[in-house]
Structure formats: C-alpha cells, structure tokens
Amino acid sequence: MDIDTLPEESPAERRRQRVRTAILDAAERVFSKEGETGLSIRRLAEEIDYSPAAIYKYFGSKEELLDELKESFFERLMSTVDRAALTELPFEARVRQCFSKYVETAIARPHHYAAAFASTGNPDNLPEADTCWADFEKSNKGQAFMTVVGLVREGQEVGIFDASFDPFIAAKSLWASMHGIALLLIHLPGFPAILPTPDRGINTAEFIQFHAGLLFRSLCASPVSPACSGHDQS
C-alpha cells in the first residue's frame, strides 16, 4: 500500500523491487517449509547473499515482512473462495466447493494459515463498533466473510436454507466451523485417519466433504436431505 498504486519505472526503483521480491521469495520458501521458527533474518540474508542489516532497508521489522507473507497468502485464499462462489454449479455443489477450496488452500500452507490467525498479542485495539466494522469490511478477512454471507442469503432466497437465520450470524458460524476443521487438520497429526476401527477409516478429502455436508445440513430448511449426503464419493 506504499508506492504500489502507481509503479514508478525508474531503473533504481526497478532494482529495488527486484531485491525486495527476492527477499520475499526466500522468506516464502523458508516459511512454507519450516514456519516461523525456521525463518530468521540472518538466514534470510544468507539465502539472498546479503548482510542481515540489509533486510532492514526493505522491511521495517521481521513482523512487517511476515505480515506481507500472510497478507498475500490470505489474498490467494480469498480469491480461491471467491472463484468457487462464482461458479455456475448448482447451489449445494457451489457451497461445498467454496468450503473445500477454503480448507484445502488452508492446509496446503499450514504455517501461513495458522500464522494468519494468531494475533492474540495486541488486545488493545478494540475501537467502537462503527470503526470496527468499517475496518473489518475493508480487510480481506471481511471480504471473505461477506462472500459467505452472500451464499447464506442466496440459499435462503432459493428456499434451501431456513430463512429465519440471520445470515451474518450464520456466516460467522460457518466460518468458525471451517476455521476449526482447517486448524485441526493442520495441528493434529493424522487427524481424520485416527479411528478405532480402521475399516471405517476416512481420508482427509472425505472428511472435509462430510463436514461440509453437516454444515450445509445445519442451515437447511426442514426436512433435510439424508445424512450420508456427499459422503462415500471418493
């Protein structure tokens, strides 16, 4: 959000951008593989063959650099969901697509997703409700949220979803459930496979589908479709 608005084409500026993206690329590479623990300024500097202090000519702090990584990941995540939401598929399939795309994108880069939702450090910035929503709506988190709200509304208009739900609150519930399965898959090693009877085992993709089916069902106007909807379809 600095000078990206109008990309100056001075040769110096071009060189600067090249080094900057080299740093970001190295950071992305390391962070994807080893997460925040493996990503140190010194290692980054070594990777691009500069001195550690050089990084600070391009980023104010390590946190600033990390924020940029998370930001661009979040944009990928969001655009993936948005693309799924704009498909021509029938409603339920479209909702399921959004859901599974979200979760799959999240667990494809576990460190990014987990880090993007880890900001417990600053519980100080809690402005009034107005400012809060305004900021939230503008953020990419807010945009993703509005996509989900739109889906809920559509389902209600078509008559598939129960119309008595507040679409905003329902969207929050949906988001929370998506968030939960994504993080559980990330943090619990071999999560969905763990079962007492291996013959009833379930792989990750099947479990995501099951979870999506459950969430869809929770919003449906009664009567609902049978429970096994969307399960055994490897």
Tokens of 144: 């993703």
Query: By CB under 7 A, which span of 58-66, 111-119, 127-135, 155-163 interacts with DNA?
Result: 58-66
Residues 205, 177: contact at Cβ < 8 Å?
no
Rounded CA separation 202/183 (Å): 18
Q: Which of 30, 39, 78, 149 binds DNA (CB under 7 A)?
A: 39
DSSP three-state, residue 161: strand
Examine residue 35 and tell whether it contacts a second copy (CB under 8 A).
yes
Looking up tokens 């490897």, which residue turns up? 234
Examine residue 40 and tell whether it contacts DNA (CB under 7 A).
yes
Half-sphere exposure of 79 (CA within 13 A, CB side): 6
By CB under 8 A, what part of segment 125-154 binds a second copy?
125-126, 129-130, 132-133, 136-137, 141
State which amino acid sits at residue 78: M
Contacts with DNA, 61-100, as mask; x by CB under 7 A: xxx-------------------------------------
Phi–psi pair at 20, nearest 5 degrees: -60, -45
Contacted entry of a second copy, DNA, none for residue 10, CB cut-off 5 to 8 Å set by kind: DNA
Q: Which of 24, 35, 47, 54 binds DNA (CB under 7 A)?
A: 54
Provide, rounded to whole angstroms, the least separation between the CB of residue 9 and a second copy: 40
